[in-house]
Structure 1
Amino acid sequence: MRIEWQIVFWVAALAFVGLLLWLFNGVIMPFAAAFVIAYLLDPLAVHLQRLGLNRLSATLVILFGFVIVLALILVLIVPILTHQFAAFIQVLPSVLNKLQGLVSGAVRTLGAQYAEPLLRKLGLRGSGLPSISTSVGDIAGQAAGWMAGVLNSLVVHGAALISLMSLLIVTPVVAFYMLLDYHRIIAAADSLIPLRYRSVVHQLAHQIDKTMSGFLRGQSLVCLFLGLWYGLGLSIVGVNFGLLIGITGGFLSFIPYVGSMVVLIAAAMISLVEGWPHWGLFASAMVVVVIGQFLEGNVISPKLVGDNVGLHPVWLMFALLAFGSVLGFTGLIIAVPVAAAAGVILRFMVQKYRASHLYSSLPEAHMIILTDVVKAPEEH
């Protein structure tokens, strides 16, 4: 088959898959989540098989453990988070108003001590100070209104959360069958690969699996550690809504830098408002956050994720935002596998391009010049 027809075929295949994902976006989410769960738990099932269990027994043991963990989360953690979330919505306006007052007061104090003398020396007579304070107040007010609108939209569109909770029933059932027949599914897909390309596809599949498994399994453990560290640490030092902030930040840590920034801003805001005019609570909260970020960047992530997974943070954030905006929560689920596969395939294509005649060949005029340069020393 000519290279032009191959390109047309693969572009059409990708467009068809994208069309199917867009059409069945409303029902594909539990199946995508179930496949990711089956992919993550397959090594555990293989390990249980090596211990003497058959595939059905290993799958049942994993499903039973998953149900127990899910039940414990629903009974012990979800009620606490729900209570803290409801309380957080109620106190958020007052917290933001108090924070606005603290910021405006700090600006006025710093302006009176430092800015006004400097402006007078410059001949401006402090005329720019009120506008600075007013601008800060306006920005804080706009931020408060935006955050209140976001939280209200979450409450109003609670049906989406209910739909998400209903997936907790569908996804384990689908994941059970996918985990049970995981190797049969992979073997069936492998049998469809043309024989002439099978070795190359196996090589790419191995690299994609290494990248995807290294990131998904490693980053999941990192998110679990950070959620526990931030949640328990902030709660112990006395920050209100500490468990909610910590678990939310741990979950968002799946996106590089986002979880840490959310925890840092939320913990700083809550601890500063609650502890004012004393700085002890704020300092304790910042110690917890800084230690957590240090452990993540220097100990936990290098050990569990590593530096060679091949997923650049910018590429990962682009994939999450792009797929999330088009396919919603389903897009967030499939973003990491697609980003891993696309990264491996693009690197493979660049490698083939650099090894091709199109990249290494030179124009005929350049070849003549190089030949003359090489022959010149021999003539002398």
Structure 2
Amino acid sequence: MPPEPPGQPPTGGGDPSGGVPRIDPTGPITTTSRTRSATLFSSDNPAWRFIKRWGFLVAIVLIVIWGRTILLPFVFAALIAYVLAPVIKYMSERKDGTHRMPRALAIILCYIVFIGLVTGFMFLLVPRLSTDVARIGKEAPGLYKKMNDQWTPEIARWLEQKFPSLQGVKTAPEEPAVVPDVPLPPGTAFTMTPLPDGRFAIQIPPTGIDLRPLPDGSYHVQINEDLPTALTTEDKLRAFVKQGMAAAQSKLNDLVQLGQSLLSSFIKGIFMFFFTLMIAAFMLLDLGKVHGFLRGLFPANVRDDYDVIKEGIDRGLSGVIRGQLLICLVNGILTYIGLLIFGVKYSLILAVVAGMLSLIPIFGSILSSVPIVAVALVSSEDGIDVFRGVAMTLWIVGIHFIEANLLNPKIIGTAAKIHPVFVIFSLFLGEHSYGLVGALLAVPILSAIQVVFMFLYKKTWKESMRRGDTGPITQVPDLPTTRS
């Protein structure tokens, strides 16, 4: 056998290393991976991957469904914390990141101002509101009588003149039938006399009759033989005192129950108010830690997406919540000014109602406008004041024009734009599920859902663009929106 060339590996069947395979240091190193069986908590288990991805969201949904009866103070605490968060940040931090004061001190000072404003509202506005309510209760019977006796006939005559088809067929009033006053024969329970028009006149004895039902459904009619005995003055006084005591006892029981109910509701309301403020204070104190905890619940590769969604939700809610509260205040003030200018009764209570109902988009403005125009029409002592009603209608339209074209773009901005169809649907759904509270929270929740949906939609569209699966689409379409 000829010798191998120098520097070349042996080509024969023998192995110069004595059976040990040679490894080329310049070549790739192949390794064998040992597969592990998927366990319950391994990353390869689909159930565990689902829990890590969607478990937190599922837990939140279950808590909302099962604990919805006790979630109300926590929801309002979150809203208070969200509204006060920029104020607390401004009071505790400078723009360069240095601290002005401890965050706890800023919360305490902010709460002192907030409670002071609420107390001032109670002492200044509540007595005037009580005066308006008492005035409504005092004038309501006379207003009803005037409406029934004076305004209703006037409106009916005006409608019949303008629309002759509304005139009905007037019938002559029926004259009472004349029945001869003939004493009943002894032993007669009653007599029935037929009348010419087909009716019957029934005549009973002075002592009256007794009606007793029978098992077959008929009644047994019997003369009451006992004449009513005259009561003495003493008996009348005793009966009067007995009836008066029974009526007083009934009214006293009702009054005690009403007082207990009001006291219980007041104590419960005070407790829930301070309990909500306490929860909001804890949220404000550890707001950064709460955000960090929520961000840490997501995998590292999607935390940037969490930041984008959080920023979008914050922009939307800042318009829906903070901006809407400011617009409600402006709406109430402008409404009160108009009510004073045109001399409408109960101006303060109507302005407060208008400002509070402005929290509910679309329907709130309608619900607050109806009583304002109605009271304006009847605010005159001479009758229906059409001019005042039309003037208040135009004033309300002007307020909403300013709100839609000036206040909404400047205060709420463009981030909270939601289509009116979605707003109406969310209001009906919220009211059906949780009543008035659901209607108040419907639009903020819808704003957050819209942000998440649009983010996922745009991200899915971009991924499909990278894969080349799209057609002639050139830009990400936005939902058709108008200001809510």
TM range (shorter): 0.7 to 0.9
Residues 275-305 of structure 1: per-residue CA shift (max 9 Å, x gap) = 2244453344334323322221222222111
Q: Which residue of 2 aligns with 1:366?
A: none
Q: Which residue of 2 aligns with 1:43?
A: 86
Q: Which of these residues, 395, 406, 418, is aligned with residue 311 of structure 1? A: 418
User: Hey, which of these two has a bigger chunk of helix by percent?
Assistant: 1
1:198 and 2:303 correspond: yes
1:338 and 2:387 correspond: no
Q: Which of these residues, 307, 316, 335, is aligned with residue 230 of structure 1? A: 335
1:72 and 2:110 correspond: no
> What amino acid is aligned across from residue 397 of structure 2 in structure 1?
V
Q: Would you say the 8 A contact 1:253–1:259 is kept in 2? A: yes
Q: Would you say the 8 A contact 1:32–1:333 is kept in 2? A: no
- The structure-2 alpha-carbon separation of the partners of 1:260 and 1:77, relative to structure 1 and needing over 3 Å to count, comes to same
Of stretches 342-351 and 316-325 in structure 1, the one that deviates more from structure 2 is 316-325
Q: Which residue of 2 aligns with 1:138?
A: none
Q: Which of these residues, 20, 24, 28, is aligned with residue 63 of structure 2? A: 20
- The structure-2 alpha-carbon separation of the partners of 1:329 and 1:261, relative to structure 1 and needing over 3 Å to count, comes to closer
- The structure-2 alpha-carbon separation of the partners of 1:303 and 1:273, relative to structure 1 and needing over 3 Å to count, comes to same
Alignment partners' CA distance in 2, 1:317 and 1:160: 36
After TM superposition, give the deviation of residue 212 of structure 1 in Å.
0.9
Structure 2 unaligned blocks of 5 or more: 1-42, 95-99, 170-257, 472-484
Residues 41-89 of structure 1: per-residue CA shift (max 9 Å, x gap) = 1111111123511211211111111111111111112232244345435
1:169 and 2:267 correspond: no
Alignment partners' CA distance in 2, 1:169 and 1:83: 28
Q: Which residue of 2 aligns with 1:372?
A: none
- The structure-2 alpha-carbon separation of the partners of 1:130 and 1:339, relative to structure 1 and needing over 3 Å to count, comes to same
Alignment partners' CA distance in 2, 1:354 and 1:104: 66
Q: Which residue of 2 aligns with 1:136?
A: none
- The structure-2 alpha-carbon separation of the partners of 1:98 and 1:342, relative to structure 1 and needing over 3 Å to count, comes to farther
Q: Which of these residues, 458, 461, 472, is aligned with residue 351 of structure 1? A: 458
Alignment partners' CA distance in 1, 2:154 and 2:262: 38
Residues 227-283 of structure 1: per-residue CA shift (max 9 Å, x gap) = 122134314432112111111111111222223223321111111122224445334
TM-score normalised to the size of structure 1? 0.73
Greater than 6 Å deviation, 4+ residue runs: 4-12, 155-161
Alignment partners' CA distance in 2, 1:167 and 1:90: 34
The number of residue pairs the alignment matches comes to 328
Q: Would you say the 8 A contact 1:230–1:243 is kept in 2? A: no
Q: Which residue of 2 aligns with 1:130?
A: 168
Alignment partners' CA distance in 2, 1:209 and 1:58: 22
Residues 139-158 of structure 1: per-residue CA shift (max 9 Å, x gap) = xxxxxxxxxxxxxxxx9997
> What amino acid is aligned across from residue 136 of structure 2 in structure 1?
F
> What amino acid is aligned across from residue 31 of structure 1 in structure 2?
F
Q: Would you say the 8 A contact 2:360–2:439 is kept in 1? A: no
Q: Which of these residues, 246, 250, 254, is aligned with residue 355 of structure 2? A: 250
Q: Would you say the 8 A contact 2:360–2:440 is kept in 1? A: no
Q: Which residue of 2 aligns with 1:265?
A: 370
Q: Would you say the 8 A contact 1:32–1:330 is kept in 2? A: no
Q: Which residue of 2 aligns with 1:327?
A: 434
Q: Which residue of 2 aligns with 1:29?
A: 72
SS at match of 1:27: coil
> What amino acid is aligned across from residue 364 of structure 2 in structure 1?
G
Alignment partners' CA distance in 2, 1:330 and 1:254: 11
> What amino acid is aligned across from residue 126 of structure 2 in structure 1?
V
> What amino acid is aligned across from residue 168 of structure 1 in structure 2?
F
- The structure-2 alpha-carbon separation of the partners of 1:226 and 1:322, relative to structure 1 and needing over 3 Å to count, comes to same
Alignment partners' CA distance in 1, 2:330 and 2:111: 23
SS at match of 2:69: helix
1:285 and 2:392 correspond: yes
- The structure-2 alpha-carbon separation of the partners of 1:351 and 1:251, relative to structure 1 and needing over 3 Å to count, comes to same
Q: Which of these residues, 105, 108, 111, is aligned with residue 157 of structure 2? A: 108
After TM superposition, give the deviation of residue 33 of structure 1 in Å.
0.9
Alignment partners' CA distance in 2, 1:305 and 1:362: 35
For residues 147-166 of structure 1, what are the structure 2 equivalents within 5 Å? 162=266, 163-164=268-269, 166=271
- The structure-2 alpha-carbon separation of the partners of 1:200 and 1:103, relative to structure 1 and needing over 3 Å to count, comes to farther
- The structure-2 alpha-carbon separation of the partners of 1:235 and 1:171, relative to structure 1 and needing over 3 Å to count, comes to farther
Q: Which residue of 2 aligns with 1:297?
A: 404
- The structure-2 alpha-carbon separation of the partners of 1:278 and 1:333, relative to structure 1 and needing over 3 Å to count, comes to closer
- The structure-2 alpha-carbon separation of the partners of 1:92 and 1:166, relative to structure 1 and needing over 3 Å to count, comes to farther
After TM superposition, give the deviation of residue 317 of structure 1 in Å.
3.7
Q: Would you say the 8 A contact 2:354–2:368 is kept in 1? A: yes
What RMSD in Å do the two structures reach over aligned CA positions? Answer: 3.5
Q: Would you say the 8 A contact 1:250–1:259 is kept in 2? A: no
Q: Would you say the 8 A contact 1:319–1:339 is kept in 2? A: yes
- The structure-2 alpha-carbon separation of the partners of 1:46 and 1:342, relative to structure 1 and needing over 3 Å to count, comes to same
TM-score normalised to the size of structure 2? 0.59
Alignment partners' CA distance in 2, 1:196 and 1:307: 30
> What amino acid is aligned across from residue 301 of structure 2 in structure 1?
R
Q: Would you say the 8 A contact 2:319–2:412 is kept in 1? A: yes
After TM superposition, give the deviation of residue 160 of structure 1 in Å.
9.6
Alignment partners' CA distance in 1, 2:428 and 2:53: 24
Residues 105-136 of structure 1: per-residue CA shift (max 9 Å, x gap) = 33432432x433xxxxxxxxx4x5339xxxxx
**Larger relative CO (CA 8 A, sep 6+): 1 or 2?**
1
